[in-house]
């Protein structure tokens, strides 16, 4: 299962009643944070989450509302006693940007590893697989999809057919491969086709594109920017590389996702839920994000 918490739902600047957009995904006690604007470490406290277990911090891009909270976040991880390495991922320019910001966090008690994402590449955090896709913003920007794969059902008949000793069945099911009495056994010798896993996608800030629809395809949950709700802001959204509510809904429909959460609301958008009826005409299972909105996604039975 994956626990998903939208820590904040604000865009552009933090407000007194709305944290900046960032998202925490946790699986089996290991966490991935996507984006870390000013106040994200406080938003974590508000959501009763600890910063220490975050293993991977992914940035969509380097505008301040997505990264300005990083030095404080890293220092708080140190204060909570983290000594294990932390991987930080993001578009080109990542290491230079992070090192520059960390002028005020010069002595962290853990190593930082950089994953500057250019070509196709999959990151891992425990069992989670994190892929990225290009977005279209005023500066280089990427979106992420976080997947938890699920192996096929164990098939005792197939195991017998393939002469897999019964005493290693459970270990093989758990670990995927086992060496036993000089033979290498793999899960495909005992299991059926992989079953549907869980996929969560996150995209902000961007115009809608085919590449995003492809990247977030068939997600169980798609968290997407909706900076503006009112149609008269469309021109501004186009000009500044942001997404409208209805564009996010069209993207969700095109990509065949199950559920859409809108986020990264403009500070001027005080009542985002007023835009929902129009959004639901395009994509019915759409919801407005809010600070601390949480869901636990499980494998299907």
CB 72 → its own copies: shortest distance, Å?
4
Pick 100 or 234: Cβ nearer its own copies: 100
* Residue of 35, 65, 131, 291 marked catalytic: 65
| SS3 state at 23 | strand
How large is the C-alpha radius of gyration of the chain? 21
Helix (H/G/I), strand (E/B), else coil: 55: strand
Residue pair 209/245 in contact (Cβ under 8 Å)? The answer is no
Tell me the two tokens of residue 215. Answer: 């990247």
Of all helices (H) and strands (E), which one includes residue 174?
A: helix 169-175
Kindly report the backbone phi and psi dihedral angles of residue 187, in degrees, each rounded to the nearest multiple of 5, phi listed first. -60, -30
Q: Give residues in contact with its own copies (CB under 8 A).
A: 12-16, 37-39, 41-42, 45-46, 62-65, 67-69, 71-72, 75-76, 79, 96-97, 100-101, 103-105
From the CB of 206, what's the least distance to its own copies, in Å? 18
65 in catalytic set: yes
Length of the chain: 301
Using the minimum distance from each CB to its own copies, give the nearer residue, 10 or 215: 10
| Residue pair 77/42 in contact by the 8 Å Cβ criterion | no
Give the whole-angstrom CA distance, residue 105 versus residue 90: 19
Nearer to its own copies, 13 or 189 (CB): 13
Strand partners, 115: 89
31: left (phi over 0), alpha (psi -120 to 50) or beta: beta
C-beta closer to its own copies: residue 42 or 278 = 42
Catalytic residue list: 65
């Amino acid at each position: 299962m994956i626990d998903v918490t939208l820590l904040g739902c604000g865009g552009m600047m933090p407000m007194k009643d709305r944290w900046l957009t960032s998202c925490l995904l946790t699986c089996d006690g290991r966490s991935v944070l996507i984006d870390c604007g000013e106040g994200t470490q406080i938003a974590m406290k508000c959501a009763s989450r600890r910063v220490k277990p975050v293993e991977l911090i992914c940035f969509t891009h380097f505008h301040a509302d997505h990264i300005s909270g990083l030095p404080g976040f890293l220092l708080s991880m140190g204060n909570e006693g983290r000594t294990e390495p932390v991987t930080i991922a993001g578009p080109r320019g990542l290491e230079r940007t992070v090192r520059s910001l960390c002028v005020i966090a010069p002595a962290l008690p853990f190593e930082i590893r950089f994953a500057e994402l250019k070509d196709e590449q999959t990151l891992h955090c425990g069992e989670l697989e994190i892929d990225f896709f290009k977005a279209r913003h005023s500066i280089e920007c990427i979106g992420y999809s976080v997947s938890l794969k699920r192996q096929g059902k164990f098939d005792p008949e197939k195991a017998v057919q393939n002469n897999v000793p019964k005493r290693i069945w459970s270990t093989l099911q758990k670990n995927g491969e086992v060496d036993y009495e000089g033979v290498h056994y793999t899960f495909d010798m005992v299991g059926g086709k992989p079953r549907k896993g869980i996929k969560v996608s996150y995209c902000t800030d961007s115009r809608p594109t085919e590449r995003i629809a492809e990247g977030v395809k068939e997600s169980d949950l798609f968290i997407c920017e909706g900076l503006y709700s009112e149609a008269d802001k469309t021109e501004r959204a186009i000009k500044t590389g942001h997404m409208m509510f209805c564009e996010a809904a069209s993207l969700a429909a095109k990509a065949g996702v199950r559920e859409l959460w809108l986020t990264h609301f403009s500070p001027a958008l005080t009542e985002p839920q007023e835009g929902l009826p129009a959004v639901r005409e395009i994509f019915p299972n759409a919801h407005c994000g809010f600070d601390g909105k949480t869901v636990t996604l499980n494998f299907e039975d």
